[in-house]
Structure 1
């Protein structure tokens, strides 16, 4: 695990512009395993602290973002309910880049092409710091979940079982 000093992603630049403290951490990418478990193992961190960024499409609120810890699964019924939808589904991978500017395994809730309503699972409050994608595969941002909520305008809710 090496720390990047000079390589900044758009996510890191946005955090810098808001004077939000973070750490940019690199890891070895396995394109055949883009799971949160792989990231946790590469970083030597608890999988509960690795938060996945998921883009969903609802029947009313068109698109919205949910962040859930790597050891949990998103509850689609809860996600639909909290986002004001009757039902929702994950956006197909083929549409992810065009909607967010990010690829699978490198999708961050910060700096998407458009601002989408964002919800983060309440389990983030169990930690002083969590990890999210820095906007590209092989880079994670470690930061205080309260700072993530602030910059992403996320709402903390229960969206996992």
Structure 2
């Protein structure tokens, strides 16, 4: 019998849209967040396929979601340019739950309290699938980057630091 997954908002939305996906689960110490590299290892997936969700702000009421490779760093200048702002900064962790409905380490780009402008790093365009948080620590969601872009109205843009 197939194992039943806890349904997060992200998984419910993906299923409602009839998007082909797979859910991976892993355990973490005391239910605490792990970094993306550890998550990739725990689910047995290549690190370059696992992406993290970051929230940035350009001031009161202006929030942006960025989906980037877990091993990469968000380039704030490139991200600001992508969203058409002079300057943006990372959202304080203490504001994350109230704004998105998700906790650090379990923040999915899908199913936030509100649909914010979303940008997926352009490296994902070359992938047939990638993995993002499913909206809970210990759960990851495998899907096509184009499907994620479709469900979140995301744009692809160069937003990570160059190597």
Aligned to 1:42: 42
Distance 1:122-1:93 versus aligned 2 partners, 3 A rule: same
Q: Could you give the per-residue CA deviations for residues 85-112 of structure 1, whole angstroms, max 9, x where no partner exists?
A: 1111110000000000000000001110
After TM superposition, the structure 1 = structure 2 runs for residues 13-92 of structure 1, keeping only pairs within 5 Å, are 13-30=12-29, 34-59=34-59, 62-92=62-92
Secondary structure of 1:48's aligned partner: helix
Contact 2:33 2:137 in 1 (8 A): no
Aligned to 1:106: 106
Aligned to 2:4: 5
What is the aligned-residue RMSD (CA, Å)?
A: 1.7
Greater shift after overlay, 28-37 or 82-91? 28-37
Q: TM-score, normalised on structure 2?
A: 0.91
Contact 2:100 2:113 in 1 (8 A): yes
Structure 1: gaps spanning 5 or more residues: none
Distance 1:4-1:139 versus aligned 2 partners, 3 A rule: farther
Structure 2: gaps spanning 5 or more residues: none
Q: TM-score, normalised on structure 1?
A: 0.92
